[in-house]
Amino acid sequence: DGGITQSPKYLFRKEGQNVTLSCEQNLNHDAMYWYRQDPGQGLRLIYYSQIVNDFQKGDIAEGYSVSREKKESFPLTVTSAQKNPTAFYLCASSIRPLGQTYEQYFGPGTRLTVT
Contact footprint for other proteins (CB under 8 A): 4, 31, 33, 35, 40-45, 48, 50, 56, 58-59, 88, 90, 92, 96-109, 111
Between residues 17 and 102, which has the closer beta carbon with respect to other proteins?
A: 102
- Minimum CB distance to other proteins, residue 56 (Å): 7
CA distance 79 to 63: 5
Q: How far is the CB of 65 from other proteins (least distance, A)?
A: 18
Q: Which is nearer to other proteins, 23 or 114 (CB)?
A: 23
Q: Measure CA 56 to chain center.
A: 12
Q: What sign does the dihedral 115-19-12-72 (CA atoms) show?
A: positive
Nearest distance from residue 43's CB to other proteins, in Å? Answer: 4
